[in-house]
């Protein structure tokens, strides 16, 4: 009897514990919150040819990903896409160059291991990228593959899930701030593959004067390019020459980590860093160099009486424009800033649909760490995978302007 009682008590205790402990969102794979290094699969960088006239494919460039290639028949070629490790969230990134010995049309089949088709294939020609015309796409809902046909010749064409942003793209963007003496960019840490983690500080306020702080984190998840582009527009506006931005910089400084998962981006990962870990589940254990670096850089703010963190934004992309605020009942300082910001963004962008889903603060994600550490409000800001660059630009500019106004009011 006593033993049964003990057993029941233990079971009750376990069930209570498991209902409180965060183990992953509905779309997360098992074990996502175990952020100790995992094994990843090496992607062989190579050029493969198949068919007659020969069709060639290459992944020998930054951001590239395909894992195998073969001819199914004279006109159909299968491209195998695999993740860096599995199980993994379904964000199947791919990027490759294709060409042919002589002019021909070829149909490619994107086939995925451990995932299903998600991103509309895009073709880059010089500096422009456009989605392949929907009339040329054929989705097989049973096998979850995607076929598309394109004309090939000897000039390589780049096909990718989203815009490819290699290290040159990032360094060119960073160097566009070099004329601004209030922008400081420094290497504050290194990834597993020894790529620098960049920190950007935008400040016109001397250290011995009081300032609010806005934290920006971006690109924890490599394929989430629209969110990355949005973060760039935010930073460009915040450092810009508008009267609003100048006023903002009199009261606030900005600390940004615009590209956190450098290894994942350069190696064409679906989600994880070079140790096979979802960085946005590592904000409690800090097992990974990327999250550790941000933590180490931001923690000194706690002991700096001249700096107060007001807000944090973590940029992502998904299949819709969606805000994940900290739920209204959680008291943050300032309180419910996100809940006041969203209606302004919605009213200023009536042509763009937005959703909002509030969460409690128990998951080990960047936004919750900002709240738990500084007591500040914070948001996960997700841009639709398919939002075009014009709309990203429009939404981001209006959003960052209304945020500056809100924060300035807050700081009066
Ligand atoms: Zn994400």
- CA 384 / ligand 1 centre spacing (Å): 11
Q: Is the pLDDT of residue 6 over 80?
A: no
What is the overall mean pLDDT for the chain? 95
pLDDT (tens digit, 9 = 90+) per residue, 200-251? 999 999 999 999 999 999 999 999 999 999 999 999 999 999 999 999 999 9
What count of residues does the chain have?
412
Q: Please say if the pLDDT value at position 11 is more than 90.
A: no
Query: When comparing pLDDT for 10 and 107, which is higher?
Result: 107
Give the model confidence (pLDDT) of 51-93 as tens digits: 999 999 999 999 999 999 999 999 999 999 999 999 999 999 9
Average pLDDT over residues 313-324: 98
Residues 354-359 have a mean pLDDT of 97
The arithmetic mean of pLDDT across residues 160-179, rounded, is: 97
| Mean pLDDT of the region 2-31 | 65
pLDDT > 60? residue 16: no
Distance CA 76, CA 56 (A): 13
Residue 26 contacts by C-beta under 8 Å, 6 or more apart in sequence? none
Angle at 355 between CA 225 and CA 117, to 5 degrees: 45
272-308 confidence digits (pLDDT tens): 999 999 999 999 999 999 999 999 999 999 999 999 9
**pLDDT tens, position by position, 213-227:** 999 999 999 999 999
The token pair that represents 161 in the structure block: 């899930």
Count CB-CB contacts under 10 A for residue 74. Answer: 10
The token duo for 381 is 């800001």
Residues 253 and 309: their CA atoms lie apart, in Å, by 9
Give Cα separations from 269 to 82, 85, 144, 221, 320 (angstroms): 9, 9, 20, 8, 21
Ligand 1 midpoint to CA 117 (Å)? 17
302 Cα to the center of ligand 1, angstroms: 27
Does residue 263 carry a pLDDT above 70? yes
Q: How far is the CA of 291 from the centre of ligand 1 (A)?
A: 15
Quote the ligand 1 centre to 169 CA distance (angstroms). 21
pLDDT-based confidence at 181, cuts 50/70/90? very high
Q: What is the mean pLDDT of residues 24-47?
A: 95
pLDDT value of residue 12: 47
Residue 376 has pLDDT above 90, yes or no: yes
- Find the 225 Cα to ligand 1 centroid distance in Å: 10
- Residue 362 above 50 pLDDT? yes
| Nearest C-alpha neighbor of 78 from the set 53, 104, 101, 107 | 107
What's the mean pLDDT in 143-159? 96
Instruction: Give the pLDDT confidence score for residue 2 in this predicted structure.
Output: 53
Q: How many angstroms from the chain centroid is the CA of residue 255?
A: 17
- The rounded Å distance from CA 279 to ligand 1 centre is 9
Q: How far is the CA of 179 from the centre of ligand 1 (A)?
A: 32
């Amino acid at each position: 009897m006593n033993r049964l009682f003990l057993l029941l008590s233990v079971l009750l205790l376990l069930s209570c514990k498991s209902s409180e402990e965060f183990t992953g969102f509905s779309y997360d794979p098992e074990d996502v919150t175990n952020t100790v290094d995992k094994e990843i699969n090496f992607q062989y960088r190579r050029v493969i040819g198949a068919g007659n006239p020969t069709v060639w494919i290459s992944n020998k460039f930054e951001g590239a990903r395909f894992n195998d290639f073969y001819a199914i028949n004279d006109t159909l070629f299968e491209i195998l896409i695999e993740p860096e490790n599995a199980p993994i969230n379904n964000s199947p990134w791919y990027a490759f160059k294709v060409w042919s010995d002589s002019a021909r049309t070829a149909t490619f089949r994107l086939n995925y291991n451990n995932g299903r088709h998600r991103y509309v294939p895009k073709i880059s020609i010089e500096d422009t990228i456009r989605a392949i015309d929907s009339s040329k796409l054929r989705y097989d809902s049973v096998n979850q593959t995607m076929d598309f046909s394109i004309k090939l010749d000897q000039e390589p064409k780049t096909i990718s899930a989203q815009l490819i942003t290699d290290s040159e793209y990032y360094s060119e963007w960073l160097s566009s701030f070099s004329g601004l003496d209030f922008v400081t960019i420094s290497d504050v840490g290194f990834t597993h593959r020894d790529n620098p983690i960049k920190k950007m500080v935008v400040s016109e306020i001397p250290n011995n004067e009081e300032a609010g702080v806005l934290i920006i984190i971006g690109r924890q998840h490599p394929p989430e390019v629209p969110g990355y582009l949005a973060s760039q527009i935010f930073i460009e506006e915040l450092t810009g020459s508008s009267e609003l931005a100048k006023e903002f910089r009199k009261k606030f400084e900005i600390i940004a980590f615009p590209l956190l998962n450098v290894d994942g981006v350069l190696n064409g990962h679906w989600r994880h860093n070079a140790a096979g870990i979802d960085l946005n589940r590592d904000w409690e254990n800090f097992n990974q160099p990327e999250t550790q670096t941000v933590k180490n850089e931001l923690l000194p703010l706690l002991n700096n009486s001249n700096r107060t963190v007001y807000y944090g934004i973590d940029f992502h992309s998904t299949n819709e424009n969606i805000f994940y605020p900290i739920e209204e009942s959680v008291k943050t300082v300032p309180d419910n800033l996100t809940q006041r910001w969203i209606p302004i963004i919605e009213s200023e962008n009536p042509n763009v649909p937005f959703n909002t889903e509030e969460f409690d603060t128990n998951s080990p994600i960047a936004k919750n760490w900002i709240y738990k550490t500084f007591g500040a409000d914070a948001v996960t800001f997700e841009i639709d995978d398919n939002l075009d660059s014009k709309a990203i630009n429009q939404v981001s500019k209006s959003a960052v302007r209304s945020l500056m106004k809100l924060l300035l009011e807050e700081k009066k």
